[in-house]
Amino acid sequence: MDQVTTSADRALHVSSRGAQTALRLRQAAREAFGALGWQGTRVQDIVTRAGVSHGTFYNYYENRAAILTELVADSHAEFVELASAPWDADDVRGALEHVIGGFLDVYQRDAAIMRTWLQAAREERSFSDLYRRSRRLFVDRVADHVGAVGAASGRQDGPPAQTVASALVAMVEHFAYCWAVLGEVHDRDDAVESLVLVWGGALNELAGFEIVKRP
Amino acid sequence: MDQVTTSADRALHVSSRGAQTALRLRQAAREAFGALGWQGTRVQDIVTRAGVSHGTFYNYYENRAAILTELVADSHAEFVELASAPWDADDVRGALEHVIGGFLDVYQRDAAIMRTWLQAAREERSFSDLYRRSRRLFVDRVADHVGAVGAASGRQDGPPAQTVASALVAMVEHFAYCWAVLGEVHDRDDAVESLVLVWGGALNELAGFEIVKRP
Amino acid sequence: MDQVTTSADRALHVSSRGAQTALRLRQAAREAFGALGWQGTRVQDIVTRAGVSHGTFYNYYENRAAILTELVADSHAEFVELASAPWDADDVRGALEHVIGGFLDVYQRDAAIMRTWLQAAREERSFSDLYRRSRRLFVDRVADHVGAVGAASGRQDGPPAQTVASALVAMVEHFAYCWAVLGEVHDRDDAVESLVLVWGGALNELAGFEIVKRP
Amino acid sequence: MDQVTTSADRALHVSSRGAQTALRLRQAAREAFGALGWQGTRVQDIVTRAGVSHGTFYNYYENRAAILTELVADSHAEFVELASAPWDADDVRGALEHVIGGFLDVYQRDAAIMRTWLQAAREERSFSDLYRRSRRLFVDRVADHVGAVGAASGRQDGPPAQTVASALVAMVEHFAYCWAVLGEVHDRDDAVESLVLVWGGALNELAGFEIVKRP
DNA sequence: CATGAATGAGCCTTCATTCAT
DNA sequence: TATGAATGAAGGCTCATTCAT
């Protein structure tokens, strides 16, 4: 009886026309967020780019955050995949190059969304939660490896694997941000080499021998 | 009506009463920004905390950005000092521990301002410029050292010093952010040890020998 | 392009399928208005309950008001019938009990519509006109009786029959509203007895003798 | 720290200028509500009449409902006073004339607000609660009297005093509404006489003798 | 007949900033 | 210097209604 109805009970958008419009809105949002940032983007900026009316937006998304959520989900999925990729224990350098290179590539391709995501994370809980979860995934995975290397070395006095892992992930992540979002100039392959060099140096320190060999 | 008002009316706030008010506003702003963030803080939030009227704010600061600029300047100065501190070339480990530890300490003490600064940097050019300059300072300094170490090793094939330096600074910086702002849990000394371990590992890689010795 | 559409396209809804849909819409509207009130009910709330699409509504009704008009017409017809029912002049008490009891019963059964009708009457002229006409019917009829009773008493100094009648009808009507719509708790038979008592008392006053006898 | 600030923390309006503006807003609201009703009145309609800007309204009232609440409070206070007035048990007719006449006068003077109040009561809980409380006050008071009269008569078989009282109050109230708000034409003194006649007739029925004598 | 996507006018509310006192 | 009232631009969101399929 007293059932509450939301604007979402309006449309399912299963038709091809509806799907088309949703797609155009997403693309328009991607452009708008990229150009104007999270705070700078008004719903108006999105619908103008999409060539639809203001009201149409609300047939598809509850608000500005909802559409960003969808865009972010795509990037997030790619990171999850990267973080879950198998790892060649016999070729640590190769594995590092692959994962770090992949990370930089995804980050650069989605730079606009990454920037917006991080902006939004400052004011909307859902985005910061997703960011934290995303980061967690990498840190935990890295901590496993770091812990294993440290344990194999037989030395007991090193710093916690979680802390080392947090530092390594922070490096890659923020380097990617400075490069892809802030526009710091680096050659992509130099970047991978540098990050692998640092990461490898850390592993060598922990292992006590050259677990990551010079190329 | 015929009372003359001079431009000195809105003056330098050198009187002790004016200075008092300005101080209270700055402290109130620090609190407000810390609690509500950059986008979340309205001028109202500041004046309420300062116990002054709305209009008074504009006697001292042009707008919300102006007061943050002052607060940020303090933190920035500390970073400049850190980045310019002398460097003991004979005790690289000790020097690293000192600078990195100092950085973490400043960051944590000023966590609220750092958070706000970075938020504001996403939408106001002046803050992002200051951030870039601040970061540049560290990166250049580190690049000098990294370059020197690499040059001493006699090897020509390593990655650019600027890129390696960017990665190392990104690591410390973003680790500090995750720790002090996002609330990731790490012991302070473990954090320093971890960061020094990674940084030292990188230098050792570049040097080709143990320039940074195990503790 | 060259397909011709005739006005018959939007036609009389005489087909069994059309009639079905119209019926479902009316029932859905009855539910929706009952649950959400006049201002609170959107076309969406009706079509959702009816299980038809948004556009379909407008194939049957011009707007929200049109469908309420139909629902209200039913209730109105019942009141007209009540107001026009024959009146047993020899058993005034019995006649009063019958009409007042009938009024309460109709009012309670249609409480949801009555509530909505009166809400809509505050902002749409057509509904308030209908309300006025409906009320007029009762008042005029009662005024006839009151006038007759007063005239029979031979006294000339009483208040106008129209005014007394207006008061009596207002009593029954608003009591019914408070009971059926606002949820004031009264036993149905006590209610009839109370209203008849007051009404009868008034007639006795006017008649100057016990035209309405104690039960 | 995380204290929430509302728009109400903005101004206290203790200055004469502020009080002036608040007064103008209230008068403007009275006019606007009177002319346009509850649903029909936009904040814009109020500020235009008051000759102030849109934003100014929100310096004084949280929203449209807040300003009506203040206006309604005045009328409500008058009803409370009426309902609490002393009652001359020796001159029931005089007492009835006084209270009923007073009620009609207040109702007519505040007709615009009464209309708006009742409109708003259909959709905002606070207004309907106030209405219920207001009505309750009268009904309870009347029920006491009706109960006393019934008890004095020694007859046990009458309807509940609460139900009779509800009917009597409903009569006066809705008659006043039809007269003052809907514009039904009645002479004020005839109206009082009619209502007293009915009310008195009811008391006489209950008492079993002429407790309310013919004038 | 049914569908549901598209439209856009319209209202509410916030808040940075100005300015007369 | 301090005050706080006034301003008004700006943006979010709703929902009745239209219309092509």
D4 has a pLDDT exceeding 70: no
Q: Are D203 and D146 in contact (CB under 8 A)?
A: yes
Question: Residue C60, Cβ neighbours under 10 Å: how many?
Answer: 20
The range of the structural domain enclosing residue C147 comes to: 66-207
Q: Which residues of chain B have pLDDT under 50?
A: 1-11
| Same domain as D130, residue D34 | no
Whether the CB of D98 is below 8 Å from some CB of chain C: the reply is: no
D158 has a pLDDT exceeding 70: yes
With bands split at pLDDT 50, 70 and 90, how would you rate the model's confidence at C72? very high
Chain C, 44 to 83: residues with Cβ < 8 Å from chain A are 44-45, 48, 54
| Same domain as B95, residue B56 | no
Q: Where are the alpha helices (DSSP H) in D61-124?
A: 64-84, 92-109, 111-121
Whether the CB of B213 is below 8 Å from some CB of chain D: the reply is: no
* Tens of each residue's pLDDT in chain A, 215 residues: 333 334 344 455 667 888 899 999 999 999 999 999 999 999 999 999 999 999 999 999 999 999 999 999 999 999 999 999 898 889 999 999 999 999 999 999 999 999 999 999 988 889 999 999 999 999 999 999 999 999 998 888 899 999 999 999 999 999 999 999 999 999 999 999 999 999 999 999 999 999 998 87
Amino acid occupying residue B175: F
Residue at which a domain ends, from B44, B61, B78: B61
Residue C89: the pLDDT is 84
Report residue B29 CA to chain centroid gap: 17
| Same domain as A48, residue A78 | no
Residue B14: the pLDDT is 62
- 3-class SS shares of chain D: helix, strand, coil, % to 5: 75, 0, 25
Query: Which residues in chain A are closer than 8 Å to C45, comparing Cβ atoms?
Result: 5
Question: Residue A156, Cβ neighbours under 10 Å: how many?
Answer: 7
Q: Which of residues 69-108 of A touch strand E (CB under 7 A)?
A: none
Residue C11: the pLDDT is 47
Q: Tell me the two tokens of residue C64.
A: 């929200």
| Same domain as D124, residue D200 | yes
Residue A169: the pLDDT is 98
Smallest CA–CA distance, residue B4 to chain A, in Å, is 43
C181 has a pLDDT exceeding 80: yes
The CATH number of the domain where C144 resides is what?
Answer: 1.10.357.10
Nucleotides of E under 7 A from a protein CB: 1-20
Name which of C150, C140, C159 is nearest D189 in CA terms. C159
Chain C, 103 to 142: residues with Cβ < 8 Å from chain D are 115, 118-119, 122-123, 128, 132, 135
Residue D116 in domain:
yes
Q: Which of residues 19-58 of D touch strand F (CB under 7 A)?
A: 20-21, 52-56, 58
Residue B4 in domain:
no
Distance CA B53, CA D11 (A): 10
Residue D157: the pLDDT is 85
| Same domain as D141, residue D125 | yes
- How many percent of chain D have pLDDT more than 90? 78
Distance CA C92, CA C201 (A): 12
Residue B213 in domain:
no
Q: Does the C-beta of A42 come within 7 A of strand E?
A: no
Q: Which of residues 155-194 of D touch strand F (CB under 7 A)?
A: none
Residue C178: the pLDDT is 97
| Mean pLDDT, residues C128-154 | 94
Name which of B128, D121, C124, C41 is nearest A2 in CA terms. C41
| Same domain as D73, residue D31 | no
| Same domain as D78, residue D14 | no
Residue B90 in domain:
yes
Residue C9: the pLDDT is 39
CB contact under 8 A, B160 and A201: no
| Mean pLDDT, residues D177-186 | 96
| Same domain as D108, residue D29 | no
Residue C45: the pLDDT is 95
Averaged confidence pLDDT in chain C: 90
Total domain count for chain D?
2
Residue B26 in domain:
yes
Residue D158 in domain:
yes
Give how far Cα B45 sits from Cα of A120, B38, B63, B72, D63, Å: 21, 11, 13, 19, 21
| Same domain as A70, residue A140 | yes
C6 has a pLDDT exceeding 70: no
Report residue B209 CA to chain centroid gap: 33
Q: In sequence order, which residues have a C-beta less than 8 Å from that of residue A188 and are 6 or more positions away?
A: A101, A104, A105, A108
The CATH number of the domain where D44 resides is what?
Answer: 1.10.10.60
Q: Are D72 and D117 in contact (CB under 8 A)?
A: yes
Distance CA B88, CA D125 (A): 74
Q: Does the C-beta of B44 come within 7 A of strand E?
A: yes
Which residue has the closest alpha carbon to E9 C1'? A55
| Same domain as C124, residue C72 | yes
Residue A213 in domain:
no
| Same domain as D197, residue D104 | yes
Q: Are A93 and A196 in contact (CB under 8 A)?
A: yes
- DSSP code, position D177: I
Name which of D56, D76, D124, D96 is nearest D211 in CA terms. D96
| Same domain as B95, residue B53 | no
Residues D65-123: tens digit of each pLDDT: 999 999 999 999 999 999 998 988 889 999 999 999 999 999 999 999 999 999 999 88
D7 has a pLDDT exceeding 90: no
Residues A75-88: tens digit of each pLDDT: 999 999 999 989 88
- DSSP code, position D170: H
Smallest CA–CA distance, residue B36 to chain D, in Å, is 7
Residue C1 in domain:
no
Cα-based angle C11, C12, C18 (whole degrees, multiple of 5): 95
Among A114-123, B1-10, D26-35, D134-143, whose mean pLDDT is lowest? Answer: B1-10
Residues C77-97: tens digit of each pLDDT: 999 999 998 888 889 999 999
How many Cα atoms occupy the beta-carbon half-sphere of D186 within 13 Å? 28
CB contact under 8 A, A167 and B168: no
